[in-house]
Structure 1
């Protein structure tokens, strides 16, 4: 069953994004992931507190998403991301 890693962030700086962007696509693909959305979110109902940006990555399974998140290559990229953004991520299944 497909699983979706949904990240949401408020940026504090953009200095980290160039290096992060150069490495994250290959790491995501290594675990069968595919970026399906990346943009500022828009409220459709209610008045939720919205982050500055959101990203949705589809994986073939929750196990592959967890393998991506726990990959040793991801450790450095997580630290880089956290150095310039307040970031949270959830995993949901289809």
Structure 2
């Protein structure tokens, strides 16, 4: 079942964060992950949520998403992101009808 990594990011150091955006796409391939949303424009429809940046990643499963997050390929990019941004990140199972 598909899984989604939902990320809310507040960039605190844009110059450093650009290194993260360059490294991350290549780390997804091995784990069959892909960007669905990558910081596009948004409009709040309900509530008081005002995120700075939203990213949505899709993986074939929760296990595959967690393998990517813990992978040696993603570790250097993750360290850059953690230095250059405040992040909230969850993984959620997709809906199977």
Q: Would you identify which runs of 4 or more consecutive aligned residues in structure 1 move more than 6 Å?
A: none
Deviations 1:65-86 (A, max 9, x none): 0100000222221110011110
Question: TM-score, normalised to structure 2's length?
Answer: 0.86
Superposed displacement of residue 15, structure 1: 1.3
For 2:88 and 2:17, the matched residues in 1 are separated by: 16
Gaps of 5+ in 2: none
Q: CA deviation at 1:34?
A: 0.8
User: For the residues of structure 1 that align with 2:34 and 2:77, how far apart are their CA atoms?
Assistant: 17
Q: C-alpha separation between the residues in 1 aligned to 2:47 and 2:10?
A: 20
Aligned to 1:57: 57
Q: Secondary structure at the match of 1:80?
A: helix
Instruction: Say how many residue pairs are matched.
Output: 93
Write the deviation string for residues 4-40 of structure 1: whole angstroms up to 9, x where unpaired. Answer: 0011111111112332222211101110001001225
Task: Tell me what 1:47 maps to.
Answer: 48
Question: Structure 1: where are the runs of 5+ without partners?
Answer: none
TM-score of the superposition, structure 1-length normalised?
Answer: 0.89
Query: Match of 1:73, SS?
Result: coil
CA contact (8 A) 2:11 2:17 kept: no
What is the Cα-based RMSD across aligned positions, in Å? 1.3
